[in-house]
Amino acid sequence: MNELRAARSLTTLPVVTLGGDAVAQVKDTLFDAAAGRVDGFTLSGRGLLSGPLKQSLPWTAVHSLGHDAVMIVDAGALADTPVAVARRAVQQGRVLHARVLTDEGAEVGTVLDVIVEGGTEAAGSWASGSPRARRWRRAPGGAGTGCTCRAARRSRSPAGRW
């Protein structure tokens, strides 16, 4: 069964090869805002004093996103990304704290976190306005597939249509 994970909880997850070596840890999750998918992960080195890595992990190279580790086939799966490209990607895909509006303009709230579907053949997508998002928001922990956005509802906002 594929597990739903909050993108924030993926941070510091170790990136482990099938050979059992930990090569990095997850620093941030990159989203492709236009396609509504997880693009990949930026990485940092393991250990207290290690900073961000120049390499990133594209979603296509992820063997499996598990509860305790992100599995990759080997260290060759990591892609070299120029820092500028990675930074631009992070800014374009900035989802946390983004405002959520209905198509009629009513404000629903701000994005608190993004739910990513784990497993070996996960889609890794997210959708802020799908009916599934509403269902998940009302029943956290309930069964469901796909990948949704968790939004904080402003207390005085009008009851907008999701």
Partner 1 sequence: MVTHVRVRRRHSRRESVLAWGALHAVGPDAVLVRSAAAPSEVPQHHELPGLRILTETGDGLGTVQDVVFEPETGRLEAIRTAHGDLPADRLLGLGDYALVVRAG
Contact positions vs partner 1 (CB under 8 A): 14, 16-22, 63-71, 118-120
Cα gap 158→153, rounded to integer Å? 10
Nearer Cβ to partner 1 (19/158): 19
Min dist CB 17 to partner 1, Å, is: 7
Min dist CB 40 to partner 1, Å, is: 16
Nearer Cβ to partner 1 (26/114): 26
Nearer Cβ to partner 1 (122/133): 122
Structure tokens at 44: 């940092």
Residue 158: how many CB atoms within 10 A of its CB? Answer: 11
Nearer Cβ to partner 1 (26/89): 26
